[in-house]
Amino acid sequence: MGLGKATIRINGANCGLEAILLGVTTSIGGFLFGYDTGQISGMQIFEDFINRFGQGPPGNKAFDDIILSLVVSLMSIGTLIGALSGAYTADWWGRRKSLTFGVVMFIIGNIIQITAMSSWVHMMMGRFVAGLGVGNLSVGVPMYQSECCPREIRGSVVASYQLLITFGILISNLINYGVRSIEGSAASWRIVIGLGIAFSLPLGIGVLFLPESPRWLAGRGRWDDARIAMARLRGLKADPHNPMVEDDFQEMQRAIVQQSAVGTGTWWECFVGSDKPRVVYRTLLGCAIHFLQQWTGVNYFFYYGASIFQSAGIDDPILIQLVLGAVNVVTTFPGLYIIERVGRRIPLIIGACWQATWLLIFAAVGIARPPDQYGSSGIVMIVAACMFIASFAMTWGPFAWVVIGETFPLRTRARQASLATASNWLGNFMISFLTPFADSGIGYAFGFVFFGTNAAAAVIVYFFLYETKSLALEQVDIMYSQRELRPWQSRKWVPEGYLDRNTRDAAYWDQRRGSTVDEPAGDEKGSSAGS
């Protein structure tokens, strides 16, 4: 039995083995994101790393705040630029080849870092180039996953991107912990960076053997290839006219024909687009959610956790960082269940409130009873950090990536996804750049800032985000076009032709199947969806 015939029953519907493999392979992009995020926290306190790239006289070197900020944060500027460029590469070359390009850039950046000898600028530029690749992947992976995966598993597959981010952070923390014994040697940090190259290869090569996005193919008139790709993802390659494939195909086809009639979306349209499908509304919403995902404060701990806990008097800050990484991984699994059973809105609201509470505790305890003077305060602050990360991992971590994959219309999806992801990296850059200065200036009071941003995030989700659970991407577009529908009422919205969001009206679809839209005779009709 070939891959095209391999079918798995999930959530009451057929999902192809290739759809599962697609989810697993592409989520490595999240692993690279997490690995690069987690590695710098431990590396910046390695003896050889400080002696090579720190400032001051030999034997007494340390990082200036501005230099440390630049070394850590310039990667985020690279990812911001990479995210914006991802809109072009994903549309020009297709979703798969764009991901391979992102991996190539990541590898080049890591090679530049490994070859750095004593110049912090050399190291910083290597992180910048690696960031270009990670930024490209952070746009391409959720978009490719959301366009390819059957709706029954779409939420979990896109959320798995965040799961692999947590794995990447944990693995980098484990490796940092493992090379502590040789931290006086350049091999310590070079091993950490070099392993990132090995981890990236399965994504860069493996994605080329997976189906191309049926929506990208259909958008270029390759309807035969789009149908085959959709059948492969349902595990029905040998039966591309199966009713299940046919219904999905017709629904996609009608939407794309309508959108194609008015041409391709522009960057300008993302900000002054048609009011009917709320293009501008969704652009701003996606940017706000992704900016606030970073300003929940998660990378305050993952970028600088080791140095923060070291200054708090913790004997083994890398071990604490490892604990935080483990909590991050373990608590992401419930999020994969919650997103398909509960939806998007309620977990995001509850998560933001929970995170705000624990950050308030973290900041208040740190100021009232400094942990370097009171050992019990350090314990409370570690517990608060763990509880915060547990909530982030179950809600804002994975859910923000699901939202970016589901919210935008096909016409402007690549550009809006790039803008939202760029906002994520802008927030990431601000956190990574400002934290050393905030730590020196206001100390643990920085937690009060994150308390406020989490509260703001809860308010924005309640008043502006629509519930997209169990909807096809084309149905999401229709729902956002319903101007009389309010976000807090959206959970009850059901698309035409459905008894509820999970149950088709058989009579309706039998009638529609009898009046199928003719397939346009596009200029491009390929013979293989994997080409």
Over residues 332-391, the pLDDT tens digits come to 888 878 887 888 899 999 999 999 999 999 999 888 888 777 777 778 888 888 899 999
Give me the helices (H) in 274-344, please.
279-294, 298-311, 317-330, 332-341
What are 421's two structure tokens? 């992801």
Say which amino acid occupies 229: A
pLDDT tens digits, 245-275 = 777 788 788 777 766 665 567 888 888 866 6
Specify the pLDDT at position 524: 37
Backbone dihedral angles phi then psi of residue 8, each to the nearest 5 degrees: -120, 140
What are 531's two structure tokens? 């080409």
> Angle 311-316-318 (CA atoms, 0-180°, nearest 5)?
90
Residue keyed to tokens 């085959």: 228
> Angle 171-35-328 (CA atoms, 0-180°, nearest 5)?
60
For the beta carbon of residue 531, count every other beta carbon within 10 angstroms.
Answer: 10
Q: Is the pLDDT of residue 520 over 60?
A: no
Q: Is the pLDDT of residue 282 over 70?
A: yes
> Angle 216-105-134 (CA atoms, 0-180°, nearest 5)?
70
Specify the pLDDT at position 519: 43
Backbone dihedral angles phi then psi of residue 274, each to the nearest 5 degrees: -55, 140
CB-based contacts of 155, cutoff 8 Å, min separation 6: 339, 340, 344, 402, 469
Q: How many residues comprise the chain?
A: 531
Higher local confidence (pLDDT), 319 or 207 = 207
**Segment 215-235 mean pLDDT:** 84
Share of the chain above pLDDT 90, in %: 19
Q: Is the pLDDT of residue 317 over 90?
A: no
Higher local confidence (pLDDT), 315 or 373 = 373
Residue 500, SS3 per DSSP = strand
Q: Any idea which of 60-64, 292-296, 440-444, 516-520 has the lowest mean pLDDT?
A: 516-520
Specify the pLDDT at position 521: 38
14 membership: H or E segment, kind and range:
strand 13-16
Specify the pLDDT at position 110: 93
Half-sphere exposure of 212 (CA within 13 A, CB side): 26
Rounded to whole angstroms, how far apart are CA atoms 83 and 102? 10
What are 456's two structure tokens? 């703001």
Domains of the chain from N-terminus onward: 3-210+272-464 (1.20.1250.20)
Q: Is the pLDDT of residue 314 over 80?
A: no
Q: What single DSSP character describes residue 46?
A: -
Higher local confidence (pLDDT), 49 or 347 = 347
Higher local confidence (pLDDT), 393 or 439 = 393
Specify the pLDDT at position 303: 66
Pair type for strands 13-16 and 498-500 = unpaired
Specify the pLDDT at position 518: 46
Rounded to whole angstroms, how far apart are CA atoms 138 and 81? 11
Specify the pLDDT at position 15: 64
Rounded to whole angstroms, how far apart are CA atoms 401 and 404? 5
Higher local confidence (pLDDT), 317 or 421 = 421
Specify the pLDDT at position 530: 41
Q: What single DSSP character describes residue 215?
A: H
Q: Is the pLDDT of residue 59 over 80?
A: no
The pTM for the full model equals 0.70
Q: Is the pLDDT of residue 295 over 60?
A: yes
**Segment 181-185 mean pLDDT:** 71
256 membership: H or E segment, kind and range:
helix 243-260
Specify the pLDDT at position 6: 58
Using alpha carbons, select from 234, 203, 230 the residue that is nearest to residue 216. 230
Specify the pLDDT at position 391: 93
Tell me the CA distances in angstroms from 76 to 193, 274, 422, 424, one per residue in order: 17, 32, 9, 9
Specify the pLDDT at position 1: 35
3-state secondary structure 61-107: CECCHHHHHHHHHHHHHHHHHHHHHHHHHHHHCCHHHHHHHHHHHHH
> What is the C-alpha end-to-end distance of the chain, expressed in Å?
21
Using alpha carbons, select from 188, 206, 196, 236 the residue that is nearest to residue 141. 206
**Segment 387-407 mean pLDDT:** 88
Burial (CB count within 10 angstroms: exposed 0-12, middle 13-18, buried 19+), residue 96: buried
Q: Any idea which of 1-5, 297-301, 306-310 has the lowest mean pLDDT?
A: 1-5
Quick one: how far is CA 245 from the chain centroid? 28
Higher local confidence (pLDDT), 531 or 58 = 58
Confidence of residue 4 (pLDDT cuts 50, 70, 90): very low
Q: How many helices (H) and strands (E) does the chain have?
A: 23, 4
Q: What single DSSP character describes residue 407?
A: S
Residue 54, SS3 per DSSP = coil
Half-sphere exposure of 258 (CA within 13 A, CB side): 12
Backbone dihedral angles phi then psi of residue 193, each to the nearest 5 degrees: -70, -40
Confidence of residue 464 (pLDDT cuts 50, 70, 90): very high
Backbone dihedral angles phi then psi of residue 484, each to the nearest 5 degrees: -80, -10
Q: Is the pLDDT of residue 444 over 50?
A: yes
Specify the pLDDT at position 223: 86
**Segment 108-120 mean pLDDT:** 91
Backbone dihedral angles phi then psi of residue 166, each to the nearest 5 degrees: -65, -40
Q: Is the pLDDT of residue 65 over 50?
A: yes
Tell me the CA distances in angstroms from 244 to 5, 21, 236, 239, 411, one per residue in order: 14, 20, 9, 10, 25
Rounded to whole angstroms, how far apart are CA atoms 84 and 101? 14
Specify the pLDDT at position 107: 95
Confidence of residue 5 (pLDDT cuts 50, 70, 90): very low
Higher local confidence (pLDDT), 257 or 108 = 108
Strand partners, 7: 16
Confidence of residue 10 (pLDDT cuts 50, 70, 90): low
Confidence of residue 302 (pLDDT cuts 50, 70, 90): confident
Q: Is the pLDDT of residue 458 over 60?
A: yes
**Segment 62-84 mean pLDDT:** 84
CB-based contacts of 463, cutoff 8 Å, min separation 6: 487, 488
10 membership: H or E segment, kind and range:
strand 7-10
**Segment 122-128 mean pLDDT:** 92
Q: Any idea which of 125-139, 238-252, 289-303, 360-374 has the lowest mean pLDDT?
A: 238-252
Please give the mean pLDDT across all residues of the chain: 81
345 membership: H or E segment, kind and range:
helix 345-368
Residue 179, SS3 per DSSP = coil
What are 420's two structure tokens? 């939202």
Confidence of residue 39 (pLDDT cuts 50, 70, 90): confident
